[in-house]
Structure 1
Amino acid sequence: MARTRLYRNGVLEAEDFPPEEISAHLRDDALTVWLDLGAPTEADLALIASELGLHELAVEDAVHSRQRPKLDRYDTHNYLTAYSVALDPATGQLTTAELGMFVTDRAVVTVRPGGGFDIDAVMRRWDELSHLAKNGVGFLLHGLLDYVVDTHFTAVQSLDDLIEELEDTVFDEKASAPESQRRALALRKSLVTLRRVVLPMREVVNTLLRREDNAIDQAMVPYFQDVFDHVLRASEWTESLRDLVTTIRETQLSIQGNRLNLIMKKVTGWAAIIAVPTAITGFYGQNIPYPGLGQPWGFWVSAGSILLVGGGLYALFKHRDWL
């Protein structure tokens, strides 16, 4: 179901009016309109495109989801794509929700393919910053982008905490190695997904901040600069965490290899010790006469040789930390 808002000179005047009335409202220069289409059909977008004069390529991008975060400029409007994110701390998996935005000089139309984007949170943010509503479209656009970037920042903070917990388990011999490796791979996958939606946002917000574009009022520039600062911090943080997870993964593999070498070293040492009695008893098991054959002292010589040589090898290997 479509949702609408109407601002007159910075004051919220009407909500949830029929979308068919938008073109009539836009005849009044004092009005700013917001329309949310949720997950619209091609027919819904065609109707809005005809009323607002939207470019066919922008409409095509809105119809076909999974676009990369971007800002496309057309003669009468801009089209933005962004993604909010949410992290599940239990599994370390990151989910994304796409948002498309048509931005004209006095109207903003949002498209939410899949319906995963929390538009109610954006509306609450608009209500909290209602003193900025007099800035028209810039106010609406700031609320949308500020919410999107805040989800990025929240996700990267949560990932940082999870990665710190993972670091603590790297040298813990009681921790399950397969579980730690699965956790590391899940976090790395989430960071790759987060990086894909965070890094392009730098160019999106930076383009909006360029004064020659006239996309936002001068009064809103400091607020967009604050959003841009959060974008930079989130992107740099994401890059550093991505490198850190890679280092943790390499450390896990190194520790696993070292433990395998240690096991092989111990097994080889014990094999060498066991080879001594095997060789001696095998020698005395020959069907030919040998010293001590049929004599008690022959048994004691062979037993003493086993204990002496085996004990010597054990002491030598233990001294060299091979066992």
Structure 2
Amino acid sequence: MWWGRSAGGRWTGDNARVIVDCAIYQNGCRTEGPEDLSDALDAARASGDAFLWIGMYEPTEQEFEHVSREFGLHKLAVEDALTAHQRPKLEVYDDSLFVVLKPVMYDEAADTVTTGELMLFIGDSFVVTVRHGEGAALAAVRRRLEHEPEVLRHGPTAVLYAVSDAVVDHYIEVAAELQADLEELEAEVFSPNPSDSKNTAARIYGFKRQVLEFRRATNPLLQPMERLAFGEVPFVHEHAQPFFRDVADHLTRASEYIDGLDRLLSDALAAHLAQMGVRQNDDVRKISAWAAMAAVPTMVAGIYGMNFEHMPELRQVWGYPVVVAVMVGICLGLHRMFKRRGWL
């Protein structure tokens, strides 16, 4: 026996570590089937209206070998599923479809976007899901489908739709969270009392990197979803196309949302750099104004400090106060002029 379930419902056998769940669904309902994988697949195919759904988490090559052999999965798709680090895509093979999705998670405390990987093998009477990363657990999707037998009756197509819909809907939720954080960042950029400029620029740049990571998950998925929505793809029920069109529409909205975030971040960075330039110009003007006022007494004191004997007013009683008064008057005049021009 390769796998089975104990009395408590836990998976046992050689691959118990990677088997998340496995069940036969017939006429939209979960049923108990043979414990042997080969027998379960044969039973699903024999019934005509049933399919087998097996979910796995980060299997090794040895752990996945039996599954790939029993289901007749293409070796190139198997290699991609085991290696991970794939772009979202849809590939059609003789006996199955291979779909790669990249679920997105956002850690608001750390301001970081992380992506997992979710691979689906869709056949005539089976679904194999392979998950990499901590996010994108499919337990909630499976439970939701099990409470919607009218959807599950569409077979493996229903699983592909439900998983794609859950992943894409979460894109929109993460984009909304990023939008809220971006509004806080914009308020900081345009604050009259900005914080450390270097820290703000670093935050904007880091935010752009998170958005770029997000775009790598969404943009490549547009074409596969359009193929599922408008093209004739094997192993996909024709009546499911309107559902995939809805997923494609949500994905387009998420992609446009992310593109908008990227443009706003670029504008915020440009505005921040412009503000830094304006503040630097203000600082330079203030320094220049004070330097100009300091130059007047420095010049006069320098002239009278040259120790010549024959200089005007040297021996006059009123010479010193007059020179000091002239210096103060010139400095006050410069201060007034700079104040009018907004330099001080």
For the aligned pair, the TM-score class normalised by the smaller chain equals: over 0.9
Residue 205 of structure 1 and its aligned partner are, at CA, apart by: 1.1
Taking the aligned partners of 2:203 and 2:108, their CA distance within structure 1 comes to 11
Q: Does 1:146 align with 2:165?
A: yes
Q: Does 1:102 align with 2:126?
A: no
- Select 1:277's aligned residue among 285, 291, 297: 297
Match of 1:74 in 2: 93
Taking the aligned partners of 2:34 and 2:307, their CA distance within structure 1 comes to 104
- Select 1:33's aligned residue among 41, 52, 57: 52
Residue-by-residue CA offset, 1:129-153 (whole Å, 9 max, x unaligned): 3331110011111111111101211
Residue-by-residue CA offset, 1:100-148 (whole Å, 9 max, x unaligned): 1111111110111234331222223323433311100111111111111
Kindly provide the amino acid, as one letter, of the partner of residue 221 in structure 1: Q
Q: Does 1:9 align with 2:32?
A: no
Match of 2:73 in 1: 54
Q: Structure 1 stretch 302-311 or stretch 166-175: which is displaced more? A: 166-175
Q: Does 1:42 align with 2:61?
A: yes
Q: Structure 1 stretch 82-91 or stretch 172-181: which is displaced more? A: 172-181
Correspondence 1:187-266 to 2 at 5 A: 187-266=207-286
Residue 191 of structure 1 and its aligned partner are, at CA, apart by: 0.7
Match of 1:125 in 2: 144
Match of 2:103 in 1: 84
TM-score of the superposition, structure 2-length normalised? 0.89
Taking the aligned partners of 1:205 and 1:166, their CA distance within structure 2 comes to 33
| Matched-pair contact (CA < 8 Å) for 1:198–1:231 | yes
Taking the aligned partners of 2:165 and 2:36, their CA distance within structure 1 comes to 27
| Matched-pair contact (CA < 8 Å) for 1:4–1:16 | no
Residue 23 of structure 1 and its aligned partner are, at CA, apart by: 3.0
Kindly provide the amino acid, as one letter, of the partner of residue 38 in structure 1: Y
Residue 43 of structure 1 and its aligned partner are, at CA, apart by: 1.4
Residue 52 of structure 1 and its aligned partner are, at CA, apart by: 1.0
| Matched-pair contact (CA < 8 Å) for 1:281–1:302 | no
Residue 16 of structure 1 and its aligned partner are, at CA, apart by: 10
Structure with greater proportional helix content? 1
Q: Does 1:267 align with 2:287?
A: yes
Q: Does 1:312 align with 2:333?
A: yes
Taking the aligned partners of 2:33 and 2:203, their CA distance within structure 1 comes to 45
Pair 309,22 (structure 1): closer, same or farther in 2 beyond 3 Å: same
Match of 2:5 in 1: none
Taking the aligned partners of 1:270 and 1:19, their CA distance within structure 2 comes to 85
Pair 128,243 (structure 1): closer, same or farther in 2 beyond 3 Å: farther
Q: Secondary structure at the match of 1:296?
A: coil
User: Aligned-pair RMSD on alpha carbons?
Assistant: 1.8
Q: Secondary structure at the match of 2:86?
A: coil
Pair 279,250 (structure 1): closer, same or farther in 2 beyond 3 Å: same
Kindly provide the amino acid, as one letter, of the partner of residue 296 in structure 1: V
Unaligned runs of 5+ in 2: 1-16
Residue 25 of structure 1 and its aligned partner are, at CA, apart by: 2.7
TM-score of the superposition, structure 1-length normalised? 0.94
Match of 2:131 in 1: 112
Match of 1:178 in 2: 198
| Ranges of 4+ aligned residues in structure 1 off by more than 6 Å | none
Taking the aligned partners of 2:214 and 2:157, their CA distance within structure 1 comes to 26
- Select 1:161's aligned residue among 180, 195, 204: 180
Unaligned runs of 5+ in 1: none
Q: Secondary structure at the match of 2:133?
A: helix
| Matched-pair contact (CA < 8 Å) for 2:230–2:241 | no
Taking the aligned partners of 1:118 and 1:217, their CA distance within structure 2 comes to 25
Kindly provide the amino acid, as one letter, of the partner of residue 45 in structure 1: F
Taking the aligned partners of 2:207 and 2:223, their CA distance within structure 1 comes to 26
